[in-house]
Structure 1
Amino acid sequence: MRRLGLAFLILFLAPIGVSAGLYLAGDATRDWRGADRSSAGLLPPAASNRQAAIRVFAARTVRWRGIFATHCWIVVKEEGASTYERYDYTAWGGPIRVNGFPPDGRWFGRAPEIVLAVDGADAAAAIPRIKAAIANYRYRGTGDYQAWPGPNSNTFVANVMAAAPELGLRLPTTAIGKDYPADGRWLALTPSGTGFRLNLGGYGGFTAGWLEGIEVNVFGAVVGMEFRRPAINLPGLGRFGMSAG
């Protein structure tokens, strides 16, 4: 029991404590209501490239929740289109929000990172399936959003993008809610289809897959180890290791 307690302290509580310290030492006092939501300059003008495009972005969530979690969203552009389409899942009104923010906009002041980038024929083939998954998403009604354990923004992205597993999306372990069982199944294939996931209603679980690696989920905090591109994942702090690209 002492060893388990020490492991929990080192792997779960200590990283969250470090993340909290970084948050407090940063710009934690910023007025999030007036925070910058402008483009972060991560996308070229849509009209400048005829190719189809898919992007998944992630950015730290608002206020103290950013200690633990990121918010993810989906951006698509069909071949020849002159505009991007952005899809978020939020707590405001009808939860599926379309083009509510700039495609690569800062999330209430937090600069996003690109989690997945696919262009050309692969994107063109996947976009219809992604849009169909959005249209048929189970939790699309007012009041369906639940920040924890889900369904939240990361549950939405994980389940929608599961319609195109060949794209190899791997959401960051700080995307709390990504493992919420939107289909109600406790035991299922991982989103990549390369392993299995045991899920205890989003409150805990265990994942093992070639793309996902090994992950242990305790109340949404995830510790993981990847083998395909060696790395470790820590609660609050995220990924450390080889490039995930």
Structure 2
Amino acid sequence: MRMRLARRLLLFFALAFLLPVASHAGWWIWQSHAPDWRRADWTSAKLLPAAAVAPEATIHVFAARVGRWRGIFAHHSWIVVKERGADAYTRFDVVGWGMPVRVNHREADGRWFGNMPELVTEIRGEAAERLIPQIRGAVASYAYSNPGSYLAWPGPNSNSFVQHILAEAPELRQALPPTAIGKDWRADGVFAGLTASRTGIQASLYGVAGLTVGWVEGIEINLLGLVAGVDLRSPALKLPGWGRVGV
């Protein structure tokens, strides 16, 4: 009985985790990538209009694949805000060198290591006006803003930072991509409680193993930072390596 259960668990791990990662790795190595950060394209992807053209308040969450072999597994995420009538966007993200929390470190909709950013969510108008002060407060309250506090795996990293903002402003009601490794990292190590959106529950062990069930987050199984599951709100599969595959 135990042997049968062990075999089923190994089969599930192979099909849900190893196979997607291996297939995405095979696809990834055939793509063209910048050899290093100096020669990578960091310019605007032209996803946002000029700030002066759109006077309303806006919030955008972006994610883009990270550089070189790490892009097989992971995205880097950041958040962009613009107050009503502002003539420029303000970008907040965390990096792994120097002071972790950066303001306008790159173009608001800039490529990351040459990779095209994806729009995770956006909010406009009065709703954005209400949420921007909460977002700025969450940036200011982020506890891991000192040099040396960044850790690529399991966290705190750039995705831990954006997840902190989502938790402090749950009205955003958005989940990061399943490939945003570090989003499930918790400062208290062993955690059980509400999801960032307050629409479900999560149990997490230092961000390297856990289970999340929520309307916004869907159902996610986290093993070593790799996430497999399903999106409930907008039906899709969540696959390690590939990310969200569906509508």
Tell me, yes or no, whether TM beats 0.5. Answer: yes
Match of residue 226, structure 2, among 221, 224, 227: 221
User: Superposition pairs for residues 8-157 of structure 1, below 5 Å?
Assistant: 8-28=13-33, 30-157=35-162
8 Å CA contact 1:214, 1:224 repeated in 2: yes
1:69 partner letter: A
Match of residue 212, structure 1, among 201, 211, 217: 217
Following the alignment from structure 1 to structure 2, what is the Cα–Cα distance between the partners of residues 202 and 70? 16
Does residue 199 of structure 1 match 2:204?
yes
Following the alignment from structure 1 to structure 2, what is the Cα–Cα distance between the partners of residues 115 and 219? 23
TM-score with structure 1 length normalisation? 0.96
SS at match of 2:244: strand
8 Å CA contact 1:155, 1:182 repeated in 2: no
Gaps of 5+ in 1: none
Q: Show CA shifts across 1:27-76 (max 9, x none).
A: 14634321111100100000111100100000000111100000000100
8 Å CA contact 1:190, 1:196 repeated in 2: yes
Following the alignment from structure 2 to structure 1, what is the Cα–Cα distance between the partners of residues 102 and 37? 19
Say which is worse superposed, 176-185 or 67-76, in terms of deviation: 176-185
Following the alignment from structure 2 to structure 1, what is the Cα–Cα distance between the partners of residues 215 and 124? 23
Q: Show CA shifts across 1:190-239 (max 9, x none).
A: 01101110010111100011111111000000001122221110000011
Corresponding pairs, count: 242
8 Å CA contact 1:58, 1:72 repeated in 2: yes
2:39 partner letter: G
Please name the residue that 2:176 is paired with. Answer: 171
SS at match of 1:162: helix
2:12 partner letter: A
Gaps of 5+ in 2: 1-5
Please name the residue that 2:3 is paired with. Answer: none
1:50 partner letter: P
SS at match of 1:150: coil
Following the alignment from structure 2 to structure 1, what is the Cα–Cα distance between the partners of residues 234 and 61? 19
2:168 partner letter: A
Following the alignment from structure 1 to structure 2, what is the Cα–Cα distance between the partners of residues 31 and 138? 30
TM-score with structure 2 length normalisation? 0.95
How far did 1:185 drift? 5.5
Following the alignment from structure 2 to structure 1, what is the Cα–Cα distance between the partners of residues 189 and 18? 29
SS at match of 2:155: coil
1:218 partner letter: L
- Please give the root-mean-square deviation of Cα atoms over the aligned residues, in Å: 1.2
Q: Show CA shifts across 1:83-115 (max 9, x none).
A: 000111011111001111000000010000100
Please name the residue that 1:234 is paired with. Answer: 239
